[in-house]
């Protein structure tokens, strides 16, 4: 459940801080990648060394450390996590979170993060029941902060009551539950194609195109994030491998087609690759030389249309086939026509005119064309297009299981 999930664990100063070591150990055991921030007070209870040894990562502590900031700025720290967990969430850090204070690395990161946050409160019973803490918890709940615990029992201060840090197993269960709820595509298989294809002329030359694979790779990552078992079939690109995705690397359209067939059956197919329409009929087996008889003649043959093939009715047809239509004019009309011509279910149509910077860039402006109409999405990052498309796919399956 937690494979490759990125957890940012914030450890403030409380007696129960030592339990965060066990939490980090179990999170890693479950496949998560854990980065930790230790507050100055937290460091009075556990050492940075023990946290670093258990997480296998550098422990971050100081907002004003030049080395830390250059290696991993606090904004990146705040954003490169799937979930932020604060354990033990002391009365002090909860108050700072409610107030929006940014007085150290932990609170600054909590203010800068756009990721979901789970807190595991732990404090003396009077502190927990104080009107100030109650008001803070209400404020935090109103902002969507998730809470696990606190439990009831003997407290470190010698009193008895509510305020004990939730058991590590319960914190783990809350974390797993969070990811399970966000995995509506669990149990479904997805195939994504991405990048260009290269069609050889001879052993060193090829016909290719400028597709960067950014959009296709982001879609594969977004589908995996929602729990789909995702196979990404990619042409030659410089994009890093997305987490949690099985990758098949190919070069030519024929190889891509074979890889797609091998990856079937799947319920979802998103064909985002810029497949070369033609290939050289008989690529030279040796490098073509300038032999004084002028330019060589290249006979081209049409490549199979993978999207049209996979869209054909039959047992192996994925329940939802999505194609891309990249055009430089009449984007919408061409997209609507392409959906019909190819027989796919949805088309993501976008304008790739040179001025738009879509090819190779990070932004994309798309229209989602479905049988019942078209949605025009505002310009957004390719990762945001991917997340929104994955969400639309999940909604499609939850509406018609
Ligand atoms: N596609 C495919 N196999 C091909 C060609 C295209 O699977 N041999 C898929 C692409 O991955 C994309 C869609 O089909 O999802 C794009 O269709 P295509 O007809 O190639 O679009 P363009 O080349 O943009 O259109 P046109 O040829 O009409 O200019």
**Among 275, 304, 344, which residue has the most ligand 1 atoms within 8 Å of its CB, making it the best to mutate?**
275
Q: Taking the CA atoms of 203, 207, 212 and 215 in sequence, report the sign of the dihedral they define.
A: negative
Catalytic, 344? Answer no
- In 3D, which of 318, 284, 317, 315 has the Cα closest to residue 298? 284
The whole-angstrom separation of Cα 115 and Cα 157 is: 33
What's the gap in Å between 275 CA and the centre of ligand 1? Answer: 6
Q: Which one is predicted more confidently, 358 or 81? A: 81
Q: Using CA positions, which residue lies closest to atom 12 of ligand 1?
A: 324
Q: How many CB atoms lie within 10 A of CB 134?
A: 11
Percent of the chain at pLDDT > 70 equals 99
Quote the radius of gyration of the chain (alpha carbons, Å): 26
Give the pTM: 0.73
Mean pLDDT value across residues 183-190: 94
* Pocket of ligand 1 contains residue 253 by CB under 6 Å: yes
Give the whole-angstrom CA distance, residue 303 versus residue 163: 66
CA–CA distance, 339 with 307 (Å, rounded to integer): 10
Residue nearest to atom 27 of ligand 1 (CA): 277
Q: How far is the CA of 274 from the centre of ligand 1 (A)?
A: 7
Fold annotation for 6-181: Rossmann fold (3.40.50)
CATH architecture classification, 189-399: 3-Layer(aba) Sandwich (3.40)
117 in contact with ligand 1, CB cutoff 6 A: no
Is 90 exceeded by the pLDDT of residue 266? yes
**349 Cβ closer than 6 Å to some ligand 1 atom:** no
d(CA 260, CA 125): 59
Does the pLDDT of residue 179 top 60, yes or no?
yes
- Delimit the domains of the chain by residue range: 6-181, 189-399
Q: Given strand 83-89, what is the order of strands in its sheet?
A: 59-60, 33-38, 6-11, 83-89, 117-121, 146-147
For residue 324 and ligand 1, the question of a CB distance below 6 A is answered with: yes
Atom of ligand 1 nearest to the CA of 304: 8
pLDDT above 90 (res 278): yes
Please identify which of the residues 30, 146, 157, 201 carries the catalytic annotation. 157
Q: What is the pLDDT of residue 360?
A: 74
How are beta strands 33-38 and 59-60 bridged, if at all?
parallel
Q: What is the predicted pLDDT for the residue at 157?
A: 78
Residue 222 alpha carbon to ligand 1 centre in Å: 22
pLDDT top residue among 3 and 347? 347
Question: Does the fold of domain 189-399 match that of domain 6-181?
Answer: yes
Mean pLDDT over each residue of the chain, to the nearest integer: 94
* 260 CB within 6 A, ligand 1: no
Question: What's the Cα-to-Cα distance from 320 to each of 123, 155, 192, 219, rounded to whole Å?
Answer: 50, 54, 12, 14
pLDDT grade, residue 77 (50/70/90)? confident
Q: Indicate the pLDDT class of residue 401, thresholds 50, 70 and 90.
A: low
Q: Is 303 in the pocket of ligand 1 (CB under 6 A)?
A: yes
Is the CB of 305 within 6 Å of ligand 1?
yes
Strands 33-38 and 6-11, bridge-based pairing = parallel
**Is pLDDT at 63 greater than 80 in this prediction?**
no
Q: Provide mean pLDDT across the span 378-396.
A: 95
Residue 63, CA distances (Å) to 9, 13, 84, 117 in order: 16, 17, 17, 20
Nearest CA to ligand 1 atom 29: 327
């Amino acid at each position: 459940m937690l494979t490759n999930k990125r957890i940012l664990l914030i450890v403030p100063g409380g007696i129960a801080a030592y339990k965060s070591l066990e939490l980090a150990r179990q999170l890693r055991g479950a496949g998560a990648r854990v980065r930790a921030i230790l507050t100055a007070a937290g460091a009075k209870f556990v050492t940075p060394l023990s946290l670093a040894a258990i997480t296998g990562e550098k422990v971050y502590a100081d907002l004003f450390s030049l080395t830390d900031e250059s290696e991993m700025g606090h904004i990146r720290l705040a954003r490169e996590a799937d979930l932020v967990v604060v354990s033990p969430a002391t009365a002090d850090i909860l108050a700072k979170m409610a107030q929006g204070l940014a007085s150290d690395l932990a609170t600054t990161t909590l203010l800068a993060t756009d990721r979901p946050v789970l807190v595991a409160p732990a404090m003396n019973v009077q502190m927990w029941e104080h009107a100030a803490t109650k008001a803070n918890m209400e404020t935090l709940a109103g902002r969507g902060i998730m809470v696990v615990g606190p439990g009831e029992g003997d407290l470190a201060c010698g009193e008895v009551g509510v305020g004990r840090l939730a058991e590590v197993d319960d914190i783990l269960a809350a974390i797993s539950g969070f990811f399970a709820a966000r995995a509506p595509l669990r149990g479904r298989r997805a195939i994504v194609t991405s990048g260009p294809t290269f069609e050889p002329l001879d052993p060193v030359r090829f016909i290719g195109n400028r597709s960067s694979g950014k959009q296709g790779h982001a879609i594969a990552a977004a589908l995996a994030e929602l729990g789909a078992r995702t196979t990404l079939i990619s042409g030659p690109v410089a994009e890093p491998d997305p987490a949690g995705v099985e990758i098949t690397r190919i070069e030519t359209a024929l190889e891509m087609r074979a890889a797609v067939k091998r990856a079937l059956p799947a319920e979802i197919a998103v064909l985002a690759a810029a497949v070369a329409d033609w290939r050289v009929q008989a690529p030279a087996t040796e490098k073509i030389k300038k032999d004084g008889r002028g330019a060589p003649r290249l006979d081209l043959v049409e490549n199979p249309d993978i999207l049209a093939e996979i869209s054909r009715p039959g047992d192996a047809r994925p329940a939802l086939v999505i194609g891309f239509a990249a055009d430089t004019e009449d984007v919408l009309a061409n997209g609507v026509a392409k959906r019909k011509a190819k027989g796919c279910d949805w088309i993501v149509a976008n304008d790739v005119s040179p001025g738009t910077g879509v090819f190779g860039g990070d932004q994309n402006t798309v229209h989602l064309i479905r049988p019942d109409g078209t949605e025009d999405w505002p310009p957004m990052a390719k990762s945001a297009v991917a997340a929104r498309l994955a969400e639309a796919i999940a909604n499609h399956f939850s509406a018609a299981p």
